[in-house]
Structure 1
């Protein structure tokens, strides 16, 4: 699994226009961006993340190749749509089981969660376009190949996506301290599990959109678990309850 690097204004422009998935674009930080105005317009229109960086950062990624101040990172795998994930569940005759990740920025955590998602029978994973790890080689390695089997949707607005999933009949369970013990919660039926970022947990609007908050019981002095560990335990509790039906 490789993340393709595309450099040069024309090449990056054509990549964006092609509709192929792009993780992010780096643009040389300079006064005014007149010569990059067309690219910036396309990036904003397509909702592709971009960042202004120093020229030395661009040089690091292009190994001496001329980049003209613009470098794009094309996704190693095409992203799905939330509707695609629901369709997979329908085709299997199963209630949807979806994992939503709210700003999981560590690629190793994302990879580990994808690996467990595949093992636990999750139909797909949804991540935000900003402030989140994307499908990079590091994610592929950590997932032990699961990234090739678990559909991943990348959306601009997680709150709107959760509302859409609720309209489609899913119950949304957000994982955070202080909620209902997962071993006492009813986790059967069409289910979306939301795992928050490594440091700050669920965002306020995400939390308010959830139908319920569930928590892992903690008996020691440490008050929280790594996001990928907590998410894995919750996914398997959902699977355990499903297997009882």
Structure 2
């Protein structure tokens, strides 16, 4: 008889509800899905569209600055969760934070998004294949931070800055130093001991990468770094402007403690740890100075340490001259 069927589990109402064998799907549907992502990370949100447009405009302007529509941008990507978080903590200038879609939301990812949001850095959500392409297959762990091209100063800007401050120029030039961490360490020492800037060659030398920014501990925002097309000619230009060019060399004729010119306008030239000063740069120097190392356990110092020692001596002499 209709309506009196003895079949079990037969639906006798039009209302929808759980059925036998559902496997607890409705219970899972009630589970939380974590904190609400920032507006910039929500697909279709107005803030996300605005962030994407801003990042796109930034990328276009960088390409134009690098040489037109077909020019290669010199921007850099910091990839990986720990490197990205450390770069954001160090306040390295950044133009966009790329976050992989559906990435595992651990503490590092949350901190990176929080720091980027606080600094106003656009958040860009990207599928994994796109991040793989951007990072050339490097294990990015779902995070990539875009660093804009560094704006190098002109060598003459460093002496002009010293003149504006009413001080004798104290400049460090690096010859053949290829480790960005050494460059960052030199920038930090220049800031600590009252220097006015750093000069690096345009080719075969370290530039202001994310690694250099990090090692400088934020001082790269205050100390200008200049790029020289030809380091020898740049040093000759400084000589014509009245600066003494002092090169550091293990076989130098003058010991650092006897170097009296450090209290005046001076350029300190530091070579690589292995090769030292190149021939032409060494011949251009007015003086070649050696750092005394009574311990004898090391034959040489890396560029960052050597520059710091000489800069300290220069600062000490200038302080004494000011008290006299």
TM-score normalised by the chain length of structure 2: 0.56
1:230 deviates by: 1.1
Q: Take 2:152 and 2:281, find their aligned partners in 1: how far apart are those partners?
A: 22
1:155-170 paired onto structure 2 within 5 Å: 155-170=228-243
| Superposition deviation, residue 221 in structure 1 | 3.4
- Report how far residue 104 of structure 1 moved: 1.1
- Report the TM-score when normalising by structure 1: 0.73
Task: Say if 2:63 and 2:73, in contact at 8 Å, map to a contact too.
Answer: no
Please state how far the C-alpha of 1:74 moved relative to its aligned partner. 7.6
Residue correspondence of structure 1 range 9-48 to structure 2 within 5 A: 14-17=64-67
Q: For the structure 1 residues 137 and 166, does the alpha-carbon distance in structure 2 shift closer, same or farther, using more than 3 Å as the test? A: same
Q: Summarize the alignment of residues 127-138 of structure 1 with structure 2, pairs less than 5 Å apart.
A: 127-138=200-211
Q: Does residue 1:217 correspond to 2:286, yes or no?
A: no
1:119-158 alignment runs, 5 A limit: 119-158=192-231
- Asked whether the equivalents of residues 174 and 214 of structure 1 are also in contact (C-alpha less than 8 Å), the reply is yes
Equivalent position of 1:43 in the other structure: none
| Distance of 2:207 and 2:224 partners within structure 1 | 13
1:66-111 per-residue CA deviation (whole Å, 9 max, x = no partner) reads 99xxxxx985431101111111000000111111011111111111
Distance (Å, rounded) in 2 between the aligned partners of 1:217 and 1:112: 21
Q: 1:102 & 1:175 partners in 2: Cα distance?
A: 10
Runs of at least 5 residues in structure 1 that lack an aligned partner in the other structure: 1-5, 26-60, 68-72
Aligned to 1:63: 132
Paired residues of 1:21 and 1:74 also in contact (CA < 8 A): no
Q: State how far apart, in whole Å, the 1-side matches of 2:300 and 2:273 are.
A: 10
Q: In the alignment, what sits opposite 1:240?
A: 316
What's the counterpart of residue 230 of structure 1? 306
Q: Larger relative contact order (C-alpha < 8 A, sep ≥ 6)?
A: 1
Tell me the secondary structure at the aligned position of residue 17 of structure 1: coil
Query: Matched residue of 1:183: which SS?
Result: helix
SS at match of 2:277: coil
Q: Are 1:202 and 2:277 an aligned pair?
A: yes
Give the Cα separation in 1 of the matches to 2:67 and 2:233.
25
Q: Map of 1:173-212 to 2, 5 A cutoff?
A: 173-179=246-252, 180-186=254-260, 187-212=262-287
Q: CA deviation at 1:178?
A: 1.6
Task: Give the superposition deviation at 1:223.
Answer: 1.3
Which secondary structure does the structure 1 equivalent of 2:316 belong to? helix
Equivalenced residues, count? 197
- Higher share of residues assigned strand: 1
- Provide the rounded CA distance (Å) in 2 between the counterparts of 1:24 and 1:131: 18
RMSD of aligned alpha carbons: 2.9
Question: Are the counterparts in 1 of residues 63 and 72 from structure 2 also a CA contact under 8 Å?
Answer: no
Q: Which has the larger radius of gyration?
A: 2
Offset of residue 14 of structure 1: 2.8
Q: Within 2, Cα distance between the matches of 1:80 and 1:22? A: 19
- Contact 1:22–1:75, Cα closer than 8 Å, also in 2: no
Structure 2's unaligned 5+ residue stretches are 1-55, 77-129, 137-145
